[in-house]
Structure 1
């Protein structure tokens, strides 16, 4: 098809585009698993877990009043200068920013698209550190850009030749999905380097109000026409249904972007609500945002501890979500996310992020009761999955035993001997688990992630050769099912306890 025109009236390269994967798919999950939307806990979308400002008694903001005020403007076009909003945004950020540095937008994606439209031509090179927010890549590809990926760890050591050919580089700070926060001194140095190469440095500070607003580099924009900063209010104020955000750039750069943006890119409701939120006393250090950061840190520590279990490696985060390595779990991120969703808890499968593979998930920090539910659902899902794997392996062992006899000692196992030397490992996965019979030597113990779990550590009976032979005499004839398990327990286990 190279060189041929598409049968559709669009640019050929758009035919291969696929939409980005995002979290927050509550309705889709409700329809798929038959769970009411109200009963789904969304830990896939990273919103402020403290709640909206309208839920806080000392915020002095009334959502109904704001909606009423906004709706009074329903029959007129918005003033597309958005002066009140831009002034409020400038005051919110501080750092010497004025309304002339502000570009209003209805959320992150539109602002990314605006910069891409104004700066990128077909064939231009853009640099995407991986892993990071996939909309940078998407919006640049819509413009026909050539995307080159660089590792997050290498963004401060980029080759001069690469920077010379790059039109723009995107840096998310704190990064999504890893939660890593770069210091402003690091970004400041990168901004100098990019400006020297005439490469736009796009710094996405969508989560910075929930991490550490002191690390913002907004103070640099007026002296650097190659620096652009993005803010998204939907994350900080937990109102994703009202699309609102803004960009920050030098007055010259902002003037061009304001001329090029859609004339009415914010409706009356978003304009009214966003202006009120930005005008809260204290700006990025309002009581609401200070309390939010303290709340996030407390729940972060709680959830980190709960997630630190076998197979899970939560990575320290500066913000309201936790990036988790599950490479030791023998369960892919997609499988885990699907199993969690079937129980009504949504987590972010990070397989859709660039070059990341199937071994990472992202979990949004929520309120304490919800964090406990996340942890307990993970335990339940892992138990169910483990049980399925155990039953499958047990079935294979029984089938092999019918042909070749019992398995004997599996000395190649990393855990051998988990009970005693020369143990028989045919029933490594016990068909009676959890039997809850202390005569076996088993007992209830405290789980590392909280709660009680049945431990078989001191149970040796199903690893004795005679017992194994007797159990196999039942299972090889009757198969492995509820009835045969009950029969084997009564005829073999009960008589030997």
Structure 2
């Protein structure tokens, strides 16, 4: 990818291809989806806002906890949001009760699989059933699959296998390939009309020359994706066991992060030891007892394990 970005430097003096034609051709071949149904953007966030802008939804159904940009985009558009609370006792798994929220007044439904921040996958059966219900009701279904490539079987859990005209599936090329600074995502639309509207709703030159070059090169790195999945799976299992020793609960995850429950203030105590974890206090449906950590290299994960052990020992010393 780095070589591709450097090689693209000779074209930096030119405006980027607004349609990302070559990148879309590669995606079309990889996904077996017509290129006309694919829209590239400046990260998945960009495409979320563009979709809301072009759809003008009045009412939306969103699961919580979830990625904050969904509600931010909808609120900025003046959309009424109905929330479906994922329950802690179900490990924050989506249930078929969500479908009952999708009535004739709903314009758009938003799902995320694996969910951010919980890491939970939606069952393929429920995803297909939701897509069919949305198509029957004329509801746009936005399914964010930005972390899908980290799962062991993306082809099993992705909505792409059940795509219909109501569906818009988001994906990110910056997550699995670890290039967030380049900002690159894409949307697969079940309808070419939706794809055209989505493309026209954004900035004309939304994806830079180096980002397009990196994306094209990344999509040829199948071995890297496979190795990354294996690494994440091994280290996720290791971290789940380690965090479980010192914290109240670690929730099942299919992504490159783990949600866990622990005593409030753990993030501050770990920060004092040079370890940064994400407090989930500001996520709707969670609170000050919830934290998220990335699954990193083994040496970095061992540092987290050591810091957790030190924190636990310090707590016991104070209690004594």
Separation of aligned partners in 2, 1:128 and 1:143: 15
Is contact 2:102-2:109 (8 Å) kept?
Answer: no
Asked if 2 retains the 8 angstrom alpha-carbon contact of 1:134 and 1:354, the reply is no
Q: Which residue of 1 aligns with 2:302?
A: 372
Q: RMSD between aligned alpha carbons?
A: 1.8
Unaligned runs of 5+ in 2: 87-92
Structure 2 residue 278 is the aligned partner of structure 1 residue 348: yes
2:212 to 271, 274, 277: 271
SS of equivalent residue, structure 2 residue 180: coil
Deviation at 1:169, TM superposition (A): 1.2
In the alignment, the residues of structure 2 paired with residue 377 and residue 161 of structure 1 have an alpha-carbon distance, to the nearest angstrom, of 43
Conservation of the 8 A alpha-carbon contact between 2:111 and 2:143: yes
Pick one of 105, 109, 112 that aligns with 2:48: 112
In structure 1, what is the equivalent of residue 7 of structure 2? 69
C-alpha deviation, 1:297, in angstroms: 1.4
What residue in structure 2 maps to residue 292 of structure 1?
A: 228
After TM superposition, the score normalised by the length of structure 1 is: 0.60
Contact in 2 for aligned 1:225/1:252 (Cα 8 Å): no
Give how far 1:227 is off.
0.6
Contact 2:145 2:158 (8 Å CA) reproduced: yes
1:279 is displaced (CA, Å) by 3.3
For residues 232 and 84 of structure 2, the distance between their equivalents in structure 1, rounded to whole angstroms, comes to 30
**CA distance in structure 2 between the partners assigned to 1:149 and 1:161 by the alignment:** 9
Match of 2:123 among 172, 177, 183: 183
Cα separation, 2, equivalents of 1:270 and 1:161: 39
CA apart distance, 1:69: 2.1
| Greater relative contact order structure (CA < 8 Å, 6+ sep) | 2
| CA deviation string 1:236-289 (max 9, x = no partner) | 101111101100002221122122221010111111111111233xxxxx2221
Tell me the distance in 1 between the aligned counterparts of 2:85 and 2:113: 15
Alpha-carbon distance in structure 2 between the residues aligned to 1:166 and 1:125: 5
User: Do the aligned residues in 2 keep the contact of 1:97 with 1:219 (CA within 8 Å)?
Assistant: no
Whether the 8 Å CA contact 1:323–1:361 is kept in 2: the answer is yes
Q: Is 2:267 aligned against 1:337?
A: yes
SS in 2 for 1:235: coil
> Structure 2 residue aligned with 1:239, among 174, 179, 186?
179
Q: Secondary structure at the match of 1:241?
A: helix
Question: Is 1:305 aligned to 2:247, yes or no?
Answer: no
Deviations 1:96-139 (A, max 9, x none): 30211111011121010011101125xx1111101111111111
Larger Rg over CA atoms: 1
Q: Distance in 1 between matches of 2:128 and 2:226?
A: 25
| Cα displacement (A) at 1:182 | 1.8
C-alpha displacement at 1:86, in angstroms? 0.9
Structure 1's unaligned 5+ residue stretches are: 1-60, 281-285, 391-428, 430-497
CA shift at 1:374, angstroms? 0.6
In structure 2, distance between residues paired with 1:145 and 1:377: 44
* Equivalent-residue separation in structure 2 for 1:369 and 1:234 (angstroms): 23
Match of 2:16 among 71, 75, 78: 78
Contact persistence 2:63–2:84 (CA under 8 A) = yes
Q: Tell me the matched-pair count.
A: 311
Question: Partners in 2 of 1:365 and 1:377 — Cα distance?
Answer: 15
Instruction: Assess if the C-alpha contact under 8 Å between 1:320 and 1:364 holds in 2.
Output: yes
Quick one: which of 312, 318, 322 aligns to 2:258?
A: 322
1:138 alignment partner, one of 72, 79, 82: 72
Distance 1:67 1:89 in 2: 18
Give the C-alpha shift of residue 310 in structure 1: 4.4
Question: What is the SS of the residue equivalent to 2:182?
Answer: coil
Specify the SS of the correspondent of 2:66.
coil
**For 1:435-487, what per-residue CA distance to the aligned partner results, in whole angstroms no more than 9, with x for missing partners?**
xxxxxxxxxxxxxxxxxxxxxxxxxxxxxxxxxxxxxxxxxxxxxxxxxxxxx
